[in-house]
Structure 1
Amino acid sequence: MLTTLIDVSFRLSRRPRSVPRARSALHAVLADWGAGEELRHTAELVLSELVTNALRVRAPSDRQVGVRIAYSTSDGTLRLEVSDAGAGRPEVRRPGADEPEGRGLWVVEALSLRWGVGPRPGGIGKTVWSELKAPALDPAPATRQVAAIAVRAGQSVRVGDAWHTVRAVRTEPQPTGGLAVVLGLDGRPPLRLPAGEPLAVRAPAVQ
C-alpha cells in the first residue's frame, strides 16, 4: 500500500499562552483534514498536556517548543509531537485524589494508541509523541480550502487571481494573541496571515 505522510510543523514561545495557541492551530488543521468532533477533542487535550509539560521543563527562555502534527495513510494514525530543549525523560505519575497536578502524562497514556519519548531531531533535548487512531481523515485532495497553518512548502496557494508556489513557511505570535503564519512565495513578497485564515491550496500528496 502506498503511504502518504502529511505533516504540519510550527514553533511556540515558552509562555503559558502557547498552550491555547497550539490547541487553536491543531483545531484548524484537523478541521481541514475532516476530523470528527471526538477526535478533535481528544487530540487537542493530548496536545495541550504535551505542550504544558514542555513549557515546565528547565530550559533557556529563548528556546522554543516545537510542535509537529502528522497523519499517515498507511495505518490511519494521527501523530502529535512536542519537542523541547530540556534534559531527562518524563515519567507517568499517578497522583492521589488530593494532588491537583501531575496528571499530564497519565492523561496522554490513557488517550493514546501509543506514546513515547525520543531524542529531539537536529538538536539538544527530547521529543514526546503520541499516536491516535484516525482512519477516516482525508488531508490531501488536489485543490481545497485550508487554514494557513496547514500550508506546506512546495504547495501552491492562490493569492488574488494568481497561483504562487510556497517556498517557506514559518509561524510567529500575533500581538493580539494567536499565531500568524508567514508564507514565502515565488514571485511576490511574503504573505502574513492569521493561522486560521483560509487559503486555496493545490498540490499532490507528499509521497
Structure 2
Amino acid sequence: MAYRSGTDDITFRLPRSRRSVPRARALLHAVLGDWGVGQETLDNAELVLSELVTNALRVPVPGDRQVGVRISRSVADGLLRLEVSDAGGGRPEVREPGEDETGGRGLLLVAALSDRWGCEERAAGIGKTVFAELKAPDIMAGPAVREVAAVMVRAGQTVRVWGEWRSVLRVRSDQYAAGGPAMVLEFDEGPALRVHAAEPLAVRSADRGA
C-alpha cells in the first residue's frame, strides 16, 4: 500500500498468544508517544486496538498463523488508522448482547470510539483486515532527527548504531524465540541489526517532500 507525503505507517506481526494483546498496546503506546498524540486519543486507540487484536486471536485458524498489525497516521487529515489482519474467513458483525451476557460488546466499543471502521479482504494472502480510523487532530509530523521505537524505522532513514549513522536499506519484522516482536534492519554497509521492536533508536528521516 502506498502512502502520500505526511503519512507514516508502522507494521508488525504478533503470535497467536494471549500475551500479544498487551504487547500490541505497548507498541502502540510507544508509536503514538513519538507522534505526540494526546492522552484521550491514546486511551481510545489502545481500547480499539485491544478489541481488534483480541477478536483476531479468537478466529479459528492454524496455530502457526500470526496476527498482522498496522498503525498509520495522516498528519494532513488528522487521522489515526489501526488495522489488524488474520487468516480467518467471515466478517465481524456488531451484535447487541443481552443484559445477562458479560461479553460480545467489543465491536460496539470499536464502533463507538472510531470515526469509521470496517472490514476488507487482505491485499495479499488469505483472510481479512479489520480497520478503525480515529480522529487525532493533535497528531504531529516528527522532527528531522528523533528517537523512535525500532518498529517505526523505515528504509531511507539514517539510524545511529555502533556510534555511527548508517543508511537503512531494508526493514523486516521478526520474532524472538520467546515470542517477543523484533525488527531486523539491513544497512548500506556492515552487518544487519536485530533489536526488540520497542527498542529506542535515533533516526534521521529522508526528505519525503513534506
Normalised by the length of structure 2, the TM-score is 0.91
3-state secondary structure, aligned to 2:60:
coil
The reply to whether residue 84 of structure 1 matches residue 89 of structure 2 is no
Aligned AA (1:145): E
| Contact 1:67 1:82 (C-alpha < 8 Å) held by counterparts | yes
Distance 1:72 1:89 in 2: 26
- Label 1:139 to 1:148 Cα distance change in 2 as closer, same or farther (>3 A): farther
The residue identity in structure 1 corresponding to 2:138 is A
- The structure 1 segments of at least 4 consecutive aligned residues displaced by more than 6 Å after TM superposition are none
Q: Which residues in structure 2 correspond to 1:6-45 (within 5 Å)?
A: 6-45=8-47
* 1:201 corresponding residue in structure 2: 203
Structure 1: where are the runs of 5+ without partners? none
CA RMSD of aligned residues (A): 1.8
Asked if 1:150 corresponds to 2:176, the answer is: no
Q: Displacement of 1:174 after TM fit?
A: 4.0
C-alpha separation in 1, matches of 2:29 and 2:176: 18
Question: SS state of the match for residue 71, structure 1?
Answer: strand
Cα distance in 1 between the residues matched to 2:21 and 2:58 = 12
Q: Partners of 2:197 and 2:203 in 1: how far apart?
A: 15
CA distances 1:4-57 after superposition (whole Å, capped 9, x unpaired): 211000111111111111111111100111112211111011001000001111
Could you tell me which residue of structure 2 aligns to residue 53 of structure 1?
A: 55
Structure 2 unpaired stretches of 5+: none
Aligned-pair distance for 1:122? 0.8
Deviation of 1:186 after TM superposition, in Å, equals 2.2
Identity among equivalent pairs (%): 61
Aligned residues between the structures: 206
The equivalent position to 2:137 in structure 1, one of 116, 135, 138, is 135
Change in Cα spacing, 1:6 to 1:206, as seen in structure 2 (3 Å) is farther
Q: Deviations over 1:138-196 (max 9, x none)?
A: 24321111111211122110113311122222333445664322222221212122222
Out of 65, 69, 72, the position equivalent to 2:71 is 69
- Residue 120 and residue 161 in structure 1: after superposition, are their counterparts in 2 closer, same or farther (change >3 A)? same
Structure 1 residues 108 and 205, CA, compared in 2 at 3 Å: closer, same or farther? farther
| Contact 1:157 1:201 (8 Å CA) reproduced | yes
**Residues 50 and 128 of structure 1 are in contact (CA less than 8 Å); yes or no, is this contact kept in structure 2?**
yes
Contact preservation (8 Å) 1:164, 1:187:
yes
Q: Distance in 2 between matches of 1:163 and 1:110?
A: 44
Cα deviations by residue, 1:38-93 (Å, 9 ceiling, x for unpaired):
11111011001000001111212111111000001231100000011110110001
The answer as to 2:182 corresponding to 1:180 is yes
Task: Give the structure-1-normalised TM-score.
Answer: 0.92
Distance 1:49 1:130, change over 3 A: same
Which residue type is aligned with residue 39 of structure 2? Answer: E
